[in-house]
Amino acid sequence: MALIKPHGGGNLKPLFVMDEAQRADLAKEAMSLPSITVSSAAAGNAVMLGGGYFTPLDGYMTKADALGVAKEMKTASGLFWPTPVLNMVEDAGSIKAGDRIALRDPNVAGNPVLAIQDVTAVESFTDDEMAMMTDKIYRTDDTAHPGVAAFNASGKTCIAGPIKVLNYSYFDKDFEGTFKTAYEIRADMEKLGWSKVVAFQTRNPMHRAHEELCRMAYNDLSCDGILIHMLLGKLKKGDIPADVRDACIRKMVELYFEPNTVLVTGYGFDMLYAGPREAVLHAVFRQNTGCTHLIVGRDHAGVGDYYGGFDAQTIFDDEVPAGSLDIEIYKADHTAYSKKLDKVIMMKDAPEGHTMEDFVLLSGTKVREMLGQGIAPPPEFSRPEVAKILMDYYQSIDK
């Protein structure tokens, strides 16, 4: 059986320039073009466009596209899309429609050229339009929300137009073997003979509950494989760095999953913390990697208490029009270790008579305290080999 079709029903559309000679010519041309250093968000968008994750988009959205996507999850042409993909600047200077410009990377020393853009429009948003987009995408205007703060810090002017991507920023170098494009993941799945694949999104190390959740979905859906797909871009203060997370997840998969049932990969994008809207974006680009299902659990892509526990699930029922996506959602409840049953279960499936005391439940704060003191969380909560990696990390930052 073939893999699921990319979003839009056509072929995958990576915007990375595959031909080496052509890429070298464009890099040379870029030296003579007007250039701007883009925001970290715009750089992440370029990396995702380059890797085919944002198929079928061909570049940064216009103002009309962005407003339509914010309001109704549709571009001006009617394509279903959940979050604006923008190149926002504070001041576009003399850049105008018809220009060809070089986009420089804010996240790499020396700001090398990341992509070349053919500018189709330079447009500014009003304060009211920025407020509307913020409210629709993040469901809050609280500037303490890290996504709201980042979205409103890049300026109010968007530079729209198609791009040609020349590199993958720091991701392929810093996360060699983990960072993968959508087309590389598809190729890996085809090689393994997979066609029914469930994706697990993470920005954290995986505890026993996450591990079992992947196993439950794999078994319930009779899948060929699991894609553990971790975010490698910028996070909020206090989140665990990607290299530590990567080591934890690889150790867990190596020791506790059957060989050739899991692909451990990562993608180059900054976390939006946009809760429900980001869950839908996750579904779009997981479909583009070839996944048929995406696990969406409690507070998926959330932060603080801005979203209800299951808002990221109900958006697929209440707001995503039928037929917009081919990927399906595997809805997960909170999972935890039951001392009574001696295994991890979804809490909603607990037999009658189970109380909260029957579960091994630890807050993130409590776990961080334990790890920082060199105390391993109970094995029902975290695999000892994973806890060891985390203890070493927390003790290194406390010194």
What are residue 159's DSSP bridge partners?
122
Q: How far is CA 389 from CA 207, 247, 263, 321, 383, in A?
A: 12, 8, 20, 43, 10
Tell me the H-state helices in the chain.
Answer: 20-30, 40-50, 63-72, 127-138, 146-151, 171-174, 182-192, 208-220, 242-256, 276-289, 311-318, 364-372, 384-398
Place of tokens 């909170």: 334
10: helix, strand or coil: coil
Phi and psi for 78 in degrees, rounded to 5? 100, 5
Q: Across the chain, how many H-helices and E-strands are there?
A: 13, 15
Place of tokens 């020349």: 166
Active-site residue, from 100, 204, 215, 250: 204
Three-state secondary structure string covering 217-265: HHHHCCCCEEEEEEECCCCCCCCCCHHHHHHHHHHHHHHHCCCCCEEEE
Active-site residue, from 203, 215, 250, 368: 203
How many C-beta atoms lie closer than 10 Å to residue 7's C-beta? 26
Q: How far is CA 7 from CA 50, 54, 89, 207, 245, in A?
A: 15, 8, 28, 31, 29
Q: What H or E segment, with its residue span, contains residue 293?
A: strand 293-296
203 carries an active-site annotation: yes
Measured CA to CA, the distance from residue 79 to residue 56 in angstroms comes to 9
Measured CA to CA, the distance from residue 296 to residue 282 in angstroms comes to 10
Tell me if 53 sits within 8 A of 184, measured CB to CB: no
Radius of gyration of the chain from Cα atoms? Answer: 21
Q: Which residues are catalytic?
A: 203-204
